[in-house]
Amino acid sequence: MPRGRIEIIEEYCKGCQLCVKFCPKDCIEISTDKINPNGYLLPIFVSEDECTGCGICGWMCPECTIDVYRYIEN
C-alpha cells in the first residue's frame, strides 16, 4: 500500500541530486536521459510503494521544487 508520493516542479530543478542522496528509502533516482529546458538531468520518483511521505527530500531541495504528500489512514 503506498503511503506517500512526491511531485517535482521539473522546470526549476537544477539536478544537484541532494534529494537522491537524502531519501531514506532510495525512492528517487537521477535519470540518464530526461533533461529540463535548462539542461539539467532530472530526478525521477521510481518507487511509489516504498515512499513513506517523510518529507526529507522536500526539506533538502535547495530550489524548493519538491512537494510531498502523505495518504492519511482512515
Partner 1 sequence: MKDKSSDVKKVTGRPDLRLLSLGMYCPGCHYGIITRVICEVIEELGVAGKAIGLAGVGCSFGGAPMTIDIDWTSCPHGRAPAMATAIKRIYPDAMVLTVQGDGDLGAIGLGCFMNALVRGENLTTIFLNNAVYGTTGGQMAPTTLLGMKTTTTPLGRDIQTNGYPLHVPELAATMRGVAYAARCTVHTPANFQKAKKSLKTAIQKQIDGIGYGIVEFVSACPPGWGLKPLECLDYISERMLEEYPLGEFKNVDKTD
C-alpha cell at 24: 531514506
Identify the residue among 10, 29, 50, 67 touching partner 1 (CB under 8 A). 67
Identify the residue among 12, 26, 28, 35 touching partner 1 (CB under 8 A). 12
Instruction: Determine, following the binding rule CB under 8 A, whether residue 31 of this chain makes contact with partner 1.
Output: no
**CB proximity list for 65: less than 8 A, separation 6 or greater:** 8, 9, 10, 12, 13
Closer to partner 1 at the Cβ: 16 or 44? Answer: 16
**CB proximity list for 37: less than 8 A, separation 6 or greater:** 11
Q: What is the amino acid identity at position 29?
A: E
Catalog residues that contact partner 1 under the rule CB under 8 A: 1-2, 4, 9, 12, 14-18, 21-22, 38, 40, 53-56, 58-72, 74
